[in-house]
A and B are shown apart, each in its own frame.
Chain A
Amino acid sequence: MAPFLLKRIFHGVAVLWVVATLTFVLLRLTPGGPFDRERKLPPQVVANLEAKYHLDESFYKQYLRYLTGIVRGDLGPSYKYLDRGVNEIIRDTLPTSALLGALAIAFALAVSIPAGLFAAYRRGSWIDRWLMISASIGISVPHFILGALLIWALALQLNWFHAARWDTFSSAILPTVTLGAAPAAYLSALLRSSLIETLGEDFIRTARAKGISETGVLFKHALSQSLIPMLTVMGPLTATLLTGSFVVEYVFAIPGMGRFFITAVTDRDYPLIMGVTLIYTALLVSANLIVDLLYGFVDPRIRSQ
């Protein structure tokens, strides 16, 4: 277990380093700078600004400074928000995004497990067909359209929710549903097909032959087996949620990290872009690591390897 863990952590650090380097090089190659304005700044002002942010140093020196900063846990100053560094911005916004992501995963699981179980149990029925059709629609609807539709119908027409607030539990419902709908649809379809496959296995027939009730077979024997494929997709799913959170935070005006990322891109606030990119990568790498560990926990065959 320990060598495996070490190897995976090393791999994760390597990924972070590659991403940090690529982002750095990419942003240096990008035409146009953070201090380009409609009206050109006087050359002395630009020179002073560049000196302040060490932009006048050589490429390698800047890169080294940036890397040592990351190692010390300092993501640098923000070009746009003069009173706050990148660290503070992330500290203020990450919890909001994390809460939204956690709520969306909880929603996706709460919807997909019953839906998948029911669809597999009543395979071929009209409810199964209906569930699977809504799942394929759910996968195809972009976040911003679902968000706009929910706001229009439930907030503007019916007045059940507020359109853009982030304070009470009820204000979190629409963003959660918007972010969680596609994962819910995807996971339902996945659980259904994996359950149907498991239900055809020999040990299920044995369990039935022993006289265990159909619901007992489904919950005790089939479900635990079928959860493994769902675990496998949790890594990619985290990536989808991160991407989705940009859009959902934008649509619902939630003060999370994704919204800051979007404004950082339009402002060309390079340290903030790099900082958020690194945090996203770190989140993703750790999600994949946790999934791998859980995988060994759930399936003893993998643990022994």
Chain B
Amino acid sequence: MTTATMQIRNFRRFDGLAGASAVFIMIVLLSGFAVPWISPYGSGELREDNLLEGPSWIHPMGTDALGRDLLTRVLYGARVSMTVGIGTALIALIIGTTYGLISGFKGGHIDDFMMRLVDIFYGLPDMLIFILLSLLFGKSIGGLLLALGLVTWVRFARITRGQVLQAKEFVYVEGARAMGAPHRRILLHHIMPNILGPILVTLTFSIPAAILAESTLSFIGLGINDPYSGWGTSWGTLAQDGWRAMRAYPHIIFFPAAAIVLTILAFNTVGNALRDLLDPRTR
């Protein structure tokens, strides 16, 4: 068993807030994916007799301008946000760690060149690159994942490379090399376990960053624009609907907004706890 997994097993170090956040994330995740079975309303079910109703027992979050149940729509939105957040993080993880591993392991001119490229990407505002990329990839959820992943990978590349450079100096890695272990073995068996912790922390932080970016873009009208996919409407789009009706019906913006803030806050809290847990220096 690697050190990282051993430390993750040590869940008792999690404080109460981080535990509550993790539970909250699980609830949002599960209910988001189970909503087609648990909600008595369809995501697009229009009811003309109860437009713009406030919260009640039948509609805990009220209804929107077309009479749709807002709780159902928020839960479908959870499915969108979680898909975007986790999907982006995984894409970025795969691209970034591969890039960082190669760069750090090869060293020399190759490393210099690869990192110069990362520096250029790293300095630019995420949202700018993201908007430009989403023009190219289109406004479907797949295109969005790709665009967000291509923005986020540089963080993984930097972290991974730094960790590889550090791990390369460890005596036991030198020992393994002296005993003639092949590159692949050194990478997978000796360096990977060491860098899992920091990568896991970066992974946790890139999920809320992706959710934030996606909902912001949807709010300003540049996000997913695929109303017929049935996957759900983004929280950002729901908030945009509420924004236009905020003066008279504040509940329509309140619930999606609260969902966004609480989810991002929960991920950040878990991320902080994980960082303290896995990084002995901050303890």
Contacts and interface: CB of A to CB of B under 8 A. Distances in A.
B225 to A, nearest CB: 10
Nearest to B246: A152
A243 interface: yes
Contacts of B243: 144, 148, 251
Given A23-B132, A243-B128, A262-B220, A156 B246 contact: yes
Contacts of B133: 26
A288 interface: yes
A142 interface: yes
Contact of A18 (B120, B138, B208): B120
A247 B135 CA distance: 18
Interface string A115-136: 0000000000000000000001
Interface string B220-232: 1110000000000
Contact of A145 (B124, B128, B138, B261): B261
Contacts of A250: 220
B239 A30 contact: no
Nearest to A259: B220
Contacts of B120: 15, 18-19
A100 B216 CA distance: 19
B212 interface: yes
B132 A26 contact: yes
Nearest to B272: A136
Contact of B268 (A27, A136, A142, A243): A136
- The contact size tier of chain A is 35 or more
Contacts of A142: 212, 215-216, 219, 260-261, 264
The A interface, classified by DSSP as helix, strand, loop or mixed, is helix
Given A145-B239, A151-B246, A239-B125, A137 B132 contact: no
Contact of B123 (A26, A149, A261, A284): A284
Interface string A249-292: 01100000000011001101000010001001100110010000
B216 A137 contact: no
Interface in A154-181: 156
A26 B133 CA distance: 7
B45 interface: no
A217 to B, nearest CB: 25
Interface in A14-55: 15, 18-19, 23, 26-27, 29-31
A290 to B, nearest CB: 14
A246 B220 contact: yes
B253 interface: yes
B257 interface: yes
Given A139-B268, A145-B260, A246-B127, 14 more contacts: A26-B135, A136-B265, A140-B261, A140-B265, A142-B212, A142-B264, A148-B239, A156-B246, A243-B128, A250-B220, A262-B220, A262-B221, A284-B123, A284-B124
Interface of A: 15, 18-19, 23, 26-27, 29-31, 136-137, 139-145, 148-149, 151-152, 156, 235, 239-240, 242-243, 246-247, 250-251, 261-262, 265-266, 268, 273, 277, 280-281, 284-285, 288
